Homo-oligomer: A and B are copies of this chain.
């Protein structure tokens, strides 16, 4: 089984770019990824690409071949759609293909154009990640669904808005010097608690923003990297995927995300590690409560303890386990289809010493990326390790 190396990474600014098309964004990210890795684009054997709302945002489905063209490659291309976990799913399949000797070089990533839809349009588009018949038509939208999950969590385990606020404050602080981030500014606990409500108990600063952006990685086999003399010190050593019932009402628990737990268990077993071995994590904090659920599903904290761990600053940049040093979805932004691959890119830069926050985690060797779709009806987890 071949070791899978991250040879090159590329990333647009995440933010409001309503005038830029998805292909324009992905072209920028992929050009950067090829330049970064020094990989010849003619060597690419496949593009695996994540996108969520292309049909709704720019009347553009069938983005696989379109994005291969944007990236300047001549290889078969496939689009993966798993809502907010779309490029996590693409990464997972790319890892398997390289491991199994199906390919030596794969371009993987994602893009999303969102802000051109406007707030109402994008809220409607995002709703297609939930169950249209049994949730959306009943009046639940995404902030409403995560608000239910937060209420259930508070009810089952305790905690409240003040503890959640710590996550927003932390992630904004982490993003201050991240040039790719949508919000490069710190906020205070008061800012969070005084912000307008979105869906009780979640306020404006508990929610990630609407974002345009793209991410791209060139993944290669270890053999290819050695043959071509490409420096690729970071490997993807574990992959996992989980699924759950689509509608919240059909689940056993609202305050847990078993799809992510299953994905984490599979990824850790795959990499031969345990949760205790993880040095740093990028998790899917589309809402502050989502980061709590993520850190519990990843096994960093027991169920019910994630919220106090956040409040006690165990996951800040100088905590025992830094989470979302990039700023997370909350402050870096969340161009849906680009997010999953973006998380791995942030970890790669951290490990390479190229990240603004690299010095905070100088001894880090193992990182985890957690990408969730909808209200975690789907999830992928990947383990990254420094191998040279």
Contacts and interface: CB of A to CB of B under 8 A. Distances in A.
A93 to B, nearest CB: 6
Contacts of A64: 81-82, 243, 373, 378
Contacts of A127: 59
Contact of A81 (B62, B75, B83, B378): B62
B243 A65 contact: yes
Contacts of A188: none
Nearest to A68: B243
A76 B241 contact: yes
Among all A-B residue pairs, the 6 with the closest Cβ atoms = A62-B83, A100-B100, A65-B377, A61-B128, A76-B241, A62-B129
B129 A77 contact: no
Contacts of A243: 64-65, 68, 74-77
A244 interface: yes
Contacts of A97: 96
B53 A61 contact: yes
A69 B248 CA distance: 13
Interface string A56-85: 101111101110110000111111111100
A245 interface: yes
A136 B81 contact: no
A136 to B, nearest CB: 7
Contacts of A245: 65, 69
Contact of A78 (B61, B89, B128, B263): B89
Given A65-B246, A65-B259, 17 more contacts: A21-B133, A53-B61, A55-B56, A62-B81, A62-B83, A62-B129, A64-B82, A69-B250, A74-B243, A76-B243, A77-B378, A78-B80, A78-B82, A78-B89, A79-B80, A79-B82, A81-B81
A89 to B, nearest CB: 5
A262 B75 CA distance: 10
B102 A65 contact: no
A57 to B, nearest CB: 10
A259 B64 CA distance: 13
Contacts of A130: 62
A27 to B, nearest CB: 13
Contact of A55 (B55, B80, B102, B244): B55
A183 interface: no
Interface in A102-148: 102, 124-125, 127-133, 136
Nearest to A128: B61
A203 interface: no
A52 interface: yes
A37 interface: no
A304 B250 CA distance: 56
A74 B69 CA distance: 37
A151 to B, nearest CB: 23
Interface in A255-270: 259, 262-263
A52 B262 CA distance: 28
A62 to B, nearest CB: 4
A313 B342 CA distance: 54
Given A65-B245, A65-B374, A65-B378, A132 B78 contact: no
A378 B69 contact: no
